[in-house]
A and B are shown apart, each in its own frame.
Chain A
Amino acid sequence: MIVKDDIKKIAELAMIEIKDDDIDKFSMQFNEILDYMKEMDTLDLSNQEAAFHITEMKNVFREDTVHNSLDNDTATLNAPEESEGFFKVPKVI
């Protein structure tokens, strides 16, 4: 059971703000989804391997060759703030 404080904590981890007015609705929907997922508890998965990779590919390598990449002007084209080809970030310290 997820309570209000859990939602606030998850939101903080996700760097998202949930307005106080919306928290109740969010917790209710969250709980409904997590309740539904309880159906998985009926499964015995103790001997089952986790399928972290669903394809059979392993260790895809390529030659480490030099090639052209994006230039600074292109890379920063969509930046909210840019200066001389660099991303400008708000003051950190």
Chain B
Amino acid sequence: MLYKKTLRELLDLIDKREITPKDVYSSVLNRIKQKENKINAYVCVFDEFEENKVKGMLSSLPVAVKDNMHIKGKKTTCSSKILKNYTAIFDATVVEKLKHAGASFIGKTNLDEFAMGSSTETSYFGTTHNPWDLTKIPGGSSGGSAAAVAGGEAVCAIGSDTGGSIRQPASLCGVVGLKPTYGRVSRYGLVAFASSLDQIGPITKNVEDAAILLNIIGGKDSRDSTSSNIEMDDFTKYLNSDISGLKIGVYDKVLPDCSADVQQSMENSIKIFKNLGCEVKSVDLPNAKYAVSDYYIIAPAEASSNLERYDGIKYGFRIDNYENLKDMYIKTRSRGFGEEVKRRIMLGTYVLSSGYYDAYYLKAQKLRGLIKQDFDNVFAGVDVLIAPTTPTEAFGIGEKADNPLQMYLSDIFTIPANLSAVPAISIPNGISKNSLPLGLQIMANTFREDNIFKCASAFEKEFNILDKLPLD
């Protein structure tokens, strides 16, 4: 039953020599064999335990990595047909750092194709199912990572978050997901979707495990010039803080748009913070309501440029029959990309095209500045900002698959943090009437993950659903 334990608990047992890392690996692998045909959390599972000879703090414990980050010698598919046979030729910086910390790896987790989606339904390798209810989506795009952790198919996982892709699936699967400040974690070796928004972070069973992993993966990297040289901290030292006096802003303007369950869970969390002695007050981000529009201009624009590289020449799928070079490009891309990826490339191409640049792209960049100012104003008065992670519990598989706009709107509360570069975590915030988990989002000013860990850890001690995770 080792697969049920947290990273911290397993590290302690290894320290005491009560178990070996291979025991953990075998337990998780067994669990995968039992559950994977129903959940489909992985694109690829590594069947052989490869002990890490580096004597690091992770003691060869297995980590699951979203399949848009490179582990040298293993496939990186981005859950796309166009990369289904791509073998990574170098390690992503986060993977290198995990290896230096002694980690081993259990597999590559499923995602929406190129991380474009909120449900993991756009994966070329099939939908991932929510382990709480197999008829529901696990969220996305890191749905494989979140479902694996929630269902015991991974001790902990690494995801990436461009508009909520760590926090939204963490929320819908009842686990913890952290999007660090933009620049906190190197993006080198993360296949680019929207480079000004992408950020890598941990998905774990509890807040402490997230702090342990952020300590390992964060820091300046000369291979990502946007990674920050702001010094890394030991985030585990904030875990048992007294948070009385902590100033918490509640973004409550959005609550009327949420389900009754989500509204109730927010009321409950406000009560908990008040009982812990926090100063809780209502705050507003007047321009955040435009975040979905802003994001669906900026992210597709960047994606249309980033995904130009898939041309059937350097790597990836190439169509067999074509008339000439241009025909090869067009046919390769048309057969290699799925529908949502094509839609976003085209949306991005449109907003950048001559005659529309000012009306869309330039306007969106200005709006992004306004949204960032909203956050600056809020954090001048509070230490952290709380909001629901999602407006509702997990929706049904297929429910929004044919309605891209409705799918996009499911990320309305997570997108503002990406646009503003601020760090944000989703932690479990109870269970809905339909027995599905809900999430509480805690945001802080840039590079103030310390405040997030203080607040999240104190809340988790008062209220968590660890014993309710679908681990049986």
Contacts and interface: CB of A to CB of B under 8 A. Distances in A.
B89 A75 contact: yes
Given A14-B349, A16-B334, A49-B366, A79 B313 contact: yes
B316 interface: yes
Contacts of A15: 326, 329-330, 333
Contacts of B329: 15
Nearest to A25: B402
Contacts of B225: 57, 60, 62
Contacts of A29: 343, 404-405
Interface string B307-330: 000001111111000101110111
Interface in A12-33: 13-18, 26, 29-30, 32-33
Contacts of B216: none
Interface stretch (B114-122, B138-146, B286-294): B286-294
A93 B315 CA distance: 22
Contact of A40 (B182, B228, B294): B294
B293 A10 contact: no
B277 interface: no
Interface in B363-398: 363-370, 372
B131 interface: no
A33 B85 CA distance: 33
A55 B182 contact: yes
Interface in A35-59: 36-37, 39-40, 43, 45, 48-55, 57
A50 B405 contact: no
Contacts of B345: 14, 16
A36 B324 contact: no
In which size bucket is the chain A interface?
35 or more
A17 B327 CA distance: 10
A83 interface: no
Size bracket, chain B contacts = 35 or more
B222 interface: yes
B331 interface: yes
B325 A45 contact: no
Nearest to A89: B313
Interface in B88-128: 89-90
Contacts of A79: 313-315
A5 B88 CA distance: 40
B49 interface: no
Contacts of B408: 33
A36 to B, nearest CB: 6
B365 A52 contact: yes
B420 A13 contact: no
A10 B350 contact: yes
Contacts of A14: 304, 333, 342, 345-346, 349
Contacts of A75: 89
A37 B368 contact: no
B297 interface: yes
Contacts of B251: none
A55 B325 contact: no
Contacts of B313: 79-80, 87, 89
B90 to A, nearest CB: 8
A32 B363 contact: no
B464 interface: no
A87 B314 contact: yes
A80 B363 contact: no
A66 interface: no
A62 B324 contact: no
Contacts of A26: 343, 346
Contacts of B183: 55, 57
Contact of A33 (B315, B349, B404, B446): B404
30 contacts: A2-B350, A10-B353, A17-B331, A18-B334, A30-B346, A33-B347, A33-B404, A33-B405, A33-B408, A36-B292, A37-B296, A40-B363, A40-B364, A40-B367, A43-B367, A45-B366, A48-B369, A50-B366, A50-B368, A51-B365, A54-B182, A54-B196, A54-B421, A55-B226, A55-B446, A74-B89, A77-B89, A78-B314, A80-B313, A89-B313
Interface of B: 85-87, 89-90, 182-183, 196, 222, 225-226, 228, 287, 290, 292-294, 296-297, 304, 312-318, 322, 324-326, 328-331, 333-334, 337, 342-343, 345-347, 349-350, 353, 360, 362-370, 372, 404-405, 408, 419-421, 446
Given A2-B350, A18-B334, A37-B360, 15 more contacts: A16-B334, A16-B345, A18-B342, A30-B343, A36-B292, A36-B405, A37-B293, A39-B293, A48-B367, A51-B372, A54-B182, A55-B446, A57-B183, A78-B89, A91-B325
Interface of A: 2, 6-7, 10-11, 13-18, 26, 29-30, 32-33, 36-37, 39-40, 43, 45, 48-55, 57, 60, 62, 70, 74-75, 77-81, 87, 89-92
- 4 tightest A-B contacts by CB? A51-B369, A78-B315, A50-B365, A80-B318
